[in-house]
Amino acid sequence: MIDTGGLRRGITLDMNGELVKVTDFQHVKQGRGSAFVRMTMRNLRTGSTTQNTFNAGTKFQTARLERHHVQFLYQDGEDYHFMDNDSFDQFSLPKDVLGDVVNYMKENDSIDLLTYQEAPVDVELPVTVDLKVTQTDPGHKGDTATGGSKPAVVETGLTITVPLFVNENDTVKIDTRTGEYLERVT
């Protein structure tokens, strides 16, 4: 059990029999009245996102998730297929359960699968991934007085903002938590 003071992003809670992952939270203390916490949560089974408000000090039941190292094999329509690196068992997860994680996965990537009572519920990516730029406009020197930026589409279909010097076929490092460009990889 944790209370509102122990909340952090990425923690998984068991709320009324539903597994939810905290994607964002905010402690609010107004001038009058008691403090409260506004929490954005993603249901790990359905993929839906909700926002709830709780009084400060409310206790939550944490869910104990097991971690398995798996390899992403391929995408087949709305299903994403994986293989357990230890047992070589193959299974699939639908896109709506994976959420935005699909924007950072490419074939043969190793990731961590989180299971609850032997059922896969979520995947955890590394903090950064390297993806190839497939489409971007050419940058022109002198377009701005300060460092400029432009949109770029990477190999998974995700659109990010990159500096002007990044070209097509360059590999860039992306933060999977925020979706922001970090650096160009040589």
What's the fold here for domain 2-62?
SH3 type barrels. (2.30.30)
CA distance 124 to 118: 16
The CATH-assigned architecture of domain 128-185 is Beta Barrel (2.40)
| Check whether domain 66-124 has CATH 3.90.245.10, yes or no | no
Average pLDDT score over the chain: 84
> pLDDT for 150-181, tens place per residue?
888 998 888 988 888 888 888 999 988 888 88
Same fold, 66-124 and 128-185: yes
Q: Are 125 and 80 in contact (CB under 8 A)?
A: no
> pLDDT for 48-91, tens place per residue?
888 988 888 888 888 888 888 999 899 888 888 989 888 888 88
What six digits make up the tokens of 118?
């032997």
Q: Are 109 and 72 in contact (CB under 8 A)?
A: yes
The ranges assigned to domains in the chain are 2-62, 66-124, 128-185
Of residues 148 and 152, more confidence is placed in 152
